[in-house]
Amino acid sequence: MTTAAAGISLQRDGAILVARLDNPPVNALAAPVRAALADALAQAQRDPAIRALLVTGSGRMFSGGADISEFDKPMQPPQLPELIDRFEDSDLLTVAAINGTAMGGALELSMGCHYRIASEAASMALPEVKIGILPGAGGTQRMPRLIGNAAALDLIVSGKPVVAAKALALGLVDELVPADGFEGAALDYVRRLLEAGGAPRRTRERDVDNDDALFGAALAKLPDTPANFAARRCVLSVQAASLPFREGQAREAALFLECARSPTSAALIHAFFAERQAGKVDRLDPAAPVLPIRDVAVLGAGTMGIGIALSLADAGLEVGLFDSAAESLQRALAHIEKHYLGLAARGRFDEVEARARIARITGGDDARLARVDLVIEAVFEDMALKKKVFADLDARCRPDAILASNTSTLDVDEIASATSSSHRVLGLHFFSPANIMRLLEIVRGRQTSDSVLVSAITLAKRLHKVGVVCGVCDGFIGNRMLEGYGRESGVLLMEGASPAQIDAAITGFGFAMGPFAMSDLAGIDVGYRVRQQRGVDPADEKIYAVGDRLYALGRYGQKTGAGFYRYEVGNRKPIPDPEVDAIVEEEANRLGIVRRAISDEEIVERCVLPLINEAANILDEGIAMRASDIDLVWLYGYGFPAWRGGPMHYANTLGTAGVLEAISRHARDDRYWRPAPLLERLAAEGKPFA
């Protein structure tokens, strides 16, 4: 007999009632699902013939946990802690059968069950810290009781997943069975429990010792900053597991509320929902087919081309790597082999898998180019060269193959004009290193077809990247905004700040690196060549004067041991250099700039406000579809502090009127500090960026 309730299905199997979570897409424990589970438990308890309740999930998910969309609404009963208490209190056996992924509240539910069985392919995590909260349904109290303080701290503070085999070794689950035939094996497990007279085991009744040294050391590793707000409270909540359970549960609830009400959590939850929205494009033809992409050509075997090839191979795609220089191609293939064998040596996967990934990337030839589904061009950033490449691709590739440019700034429509089939051309702007960075700017040209666009969005998901769709303009979203950030850091340097002060102010704001340390990492020579390619307005000389002097001296950054900083051999730590300070003074004197003391607050405002102002223009022009897409670009591509939610969310915390006032206060000329019309409108209307 099978019956269905809201979000679950019920099936009777002798003395066992099976409750199968069925709330697509991730079987979230939303209010109707919690109510249905409570009813299922009550039904089982009323029937004397039922001796056990088995909870599992439909599809490949056990459950993704709590429904995050409920967080800003009044919570409907039964709340998750109450539901879990009912499962733990039950006199009939409650068993969690984790058939796939168990996240957050779902793992907390399983820990409240008396027994836990998992598929060998299952994975589990308490990832709440990643959205600025902590497990608030007893997770910080039950996990230490099951696996000990140290292991619980590691999983809860990091939010990282644990695979089934490790979960078994830790004691998080009791038994593993193959994924094939999982539910039958789970039922057999429960029958064995019943035949053996298995009794309820209540996790809350276990004891766990306090370990002040362990928790003190954990807090010492987490400076008391907004970025660590939730992580520190995770530590304190796990420490409370040494208290009697109800006292610890109350402590967990209080700490959860602190987190949930914090600006940090609001920013991280904003980013969570922004990522869900990414790639959703209005007015796309719903019938536009997703083109199959199995075989990809990557043109250019430099650093970017190698990273793109690795990203594709990691996703199981076949890759042909092309380069006009045979030596460059062979070096790239050797680097790829070393990369994968190195990962295998470090235990990321076994050598068989490493060899399989190596085999997916081969040197390309004419026959390969003629049959691939997608070409990604990653040659030097030169328009004439790119147009020549695309004209050649147009003639040599299949007529339905997608042609993509990895350009970071150039006009995709002009590149497409070199072909006879502009509808199949778009930009796929990867960020370096391409196999690590999660952002992918998907640049939609005027003629890019809906089918090509949805295929690119689908590819981004397959690559586990955050694909943000944008229109064509110089620099797209990220690099167009970056120009103002870099410009002001250059001006601040000439007006009185040092590279170290500017970088310290920016890292104090939350960026991982400041603009000058980043320039040294990327290469001062790279920035110089880009400026020469694009041309520099003489009026902007003061912005680039120091960088140009450093280039002339051969100080290219980390690669040469000296740039805006100097570097010791084998050490990437930037060391302030008096020689650079002297160059700054010389250039300021030459240009008639009187240097002055500049506060860290002014540095942050003058570097960050141009980001917001230019983003408002990008939004107003329709280059970006939504403000949250701009946030994603800067969170995942440029290291904007996640706990601030991105530049647009940060602007909303300041208020658009406050942003406008600050921009007006720093304005020196209309070229660079003219307030965006959208910002002026929103400030006048008292509205945020939406």
| Interacting residues of 607 by C-beta distance below 8 A, sequence separation 6+ | 485, 488, 489, 492, 502, 506, 515
Q: Determine whether 78 is exposed, middle or buried from the number of CB atoms within 10 Å of its CB (0-12, 13-18, 19+).
A: middle
Q: Are 428 and 402 in contact (CB under 8 A)?
A: no
Catalytic residue selected from 88, 108, 377, 441: 108
- A 10 A CB-CB count for 535 gives 6
DSSP 3-state assignment of 678? helix
What HEC string does 414-438 produce?
A: HHHCCCCCHHHEEEEEECCCCCCCC
Q: Are 662 and 605 in contact (CB under 8 A)?
A: yes
Q: Please give the Cα distance from 498 to 501 (Å, whole number).
A: 5
Q: Please give the Cα distance from 319 to 301 (Å, whole number).
A: 12
100: its two tokens: 């796939």
Q: Are 282 and 661 in contact (CB under 8 A)?
A: no
Q: Report which DSSP code applies to 562.
A: B
307: its two tokens: 């990273």
Q: Report which DSSP code applies to 406.
A: -
Q: Determine whether 669 is exposed, middle or buried from the number of CB atoms within 10 Å of its CB (0-12, 13-18, 19+).
A: exposed
What HEC string does 616-654 produce?
A: HHHHHCCCECCHHHHHHHHHHHCCCCHHHCCHHHHHHHH
Q: Are 235 and 153 in contact (CB under 8 A)?
A: yes
Strand 16-21 vs strand 295-299: parallel, antiparallel, or unpaired? unpaired
Q: Report which DSSP code applies to 472.
A: -
Active-site annotation holds for 108? yes
Q: Report which DSSP code applies to 286.
A: T
Q: Are 311 and 463 in contact (CB under 8 A)?
A: yes
DSSP 3-state assignment of 374? strand
Beta bridge partners of 162: 124
Q: Please give the Cα distance from 165 to 118 (Å, whole number).
A: 9
- From residue 439, how far is each of 278, 466, 468, 619 by CA, in Å? 11, 5, 8, 19
Catalytic residue selected from 70, 88, 120, 128: 128
Count of alpha carbons within 13 angstroms of residue 404, beta-carbon side: 29
Q: Please give the Cα distance from 498 to 69 (Å, whole number).
A: 45
Q: Please give the Cα distance from 150 to 144 (Å, whole number).
A: 8
Q: Are 122 and 102 in contact (CB under 8 A)?
A: yes
Phi and psi at residue 61, in whole multiples of 5°?
-110, 135
Q: Please give the Cα distance from 51 to 48 (Å, whole number).
A: 7
Active-site annotation holds for 614? no
- A 10 A CB-CB count for 85 gives 17
684: its two tokens: 């006048």
| CA distance from start to end of the chain | 49
Active site residues: 108, 128
